[in-house]
Structure 1
Amino acid sequence: MDALELLLNRHSNPRLIEPAPAGEQLEAIFKAGLRAPDHAALTPWEFIVFGGEQREKLGDILAEATRAKGDDEDSVEKARQAPLRAPLVITVVAKVKPHDKVPQLEQEISAGCALMAMQMASQAQGFNGIWRTGWFAFDRGVHQALGLTEQDQIVGFLYLGTPQVAVRKLPERDPAQFVRYFAS
């Protein structure tokens, strides 16, 4: 599959099983993420990897945040099980650095581009994934448990693995509905 075909057929797959990318495949995924646009070469990213039993530790962190929010025990258990939906979860964090010419938003977008590049590199190698965010990404208790600083922002949890089922083809969208050429 060439690069344009990959981009034009991008899709998420929430039904993921073993195996997850590992070794050189996972290294290629990280390298793709590190090619994200990066104004002033700030490298404003961190990738926190949860595989195997480490996913249970992430589940404990999410469960504790859910409990601290005051949700019921069913919600707490659902949060605990969430990272087990895929054999590998990578938390992508914008490591925002003070800079006169590169605002916080631009650094967070850069981390988001890294996440998408990682998902695309996964798909290019026969794996797939889904980018999940939700309120956990903004919860200070989750940030603290992951050792993040006040300036850091989780941009998403990238769930990766082997597609369990084929996904339906996404509907084609007409670019004319989203594109406007400026005329003075």
Structure 2
Amino acid sequence: MSALEAVLRRTSWSKVTEDAPTREQLLPLIEAAGRVADHSSLRPWRLIELRGNDRVALGAAIAKANGADEPSTKPLRAPLLIAVVASYRRSEKVPHWEQQAVAAGVAHTLSLLLDEAGWGVIWRTGGYTRSKAVAKAHGLKKNERLLGWLYVGGRPEGKEAGRRKRVDADALLTRMPKRKGTKKG
């Protein structure tokens, strides 16, 4: 399958089975995802693997962030969550927004690779990603921000992922506006 075919086929899986890739299966995919464009090769990201009781602890942190009495069951929707963290580096040339874009690029590329490998994946976020309770649960440092989680599991048999609308590429690919005194070209 070509990269174009894999990307066009990719879709989010909101419901997955309890199967999940092993750490050993994840490592080469993460290594490949880490090849995204990265100005100055800062590697301003890291990933946190959450399995088993880690997901329960996250549910408690989400509850605390939301002021709820009962732990959130959202982290239990998949057997594996991969927290995506922007880990900002000091740089005169690369601002934080660009470093965050690198971390998001790693997450998206990893989701494509997991999808292509046959796993069900969805990227989930929420306002609580910026909460102190959730940051503490993940052991984030002062220079780090949680961008969300890739929820990963097996694809249910006989089910299809959600359908995605086609992208109107022609409408989204525009040109610079004409300026007075210049020729189009």
TM-score, length basis structure 1: 0.88
Aligned to 1:20: 20
Q: Rg bigger for which structure?
A: 2
* Residue pair 1:6, 1:124 contacting (<8 A) in 2 also: yes
Aligned to 1:137: 129
Aligned residues: 176
* Residue pair 1:25, 1:125 contacting (<8 A) in 2 also: no
* Residue pair 2:58, 2:134 contacting (<8 A) in 1 also: no
Aligned to 2:168: 174
Equivalent residue in structure 2 for 1:149, among 141, 156, 159: 141
Letter in 2 for 1:61: A
Aligned to 1:47: 47
2: CA distance, partners of 1:49 / 1:6 = 24
- Deviation of residue 55 (structure 1)? 1.4
Q: Aligned to 2:129, what secondary structure does the other structure show?
A: helix
2: CA distance, partners of 1:173 / 1:116 = 17
Comparing both structures, which one devotes a greater share of its residues to helix? 1
* Residue pair 2:19, 2:79 contacting (<8 A) in 1 also: yes
The unaligned stretches of length 5 or more in structure 2 are: 180-185
Q: Does 1:107 align with 2:99?
A: yes
The unaligned stretches of length 5 or more in structure 1 are: none
Sequence identity (%): 33
TM-score, length basis structure 2: 0.88
CA RMSD of superposed structures (Å): 1.6
Task: List, as ranges, runs of 4+ consecutive aligned residues in structure 1 with deviation greater than 4 Å.
Answer: none
2: CA distance, partners of 1:49 / 1:24 = 12
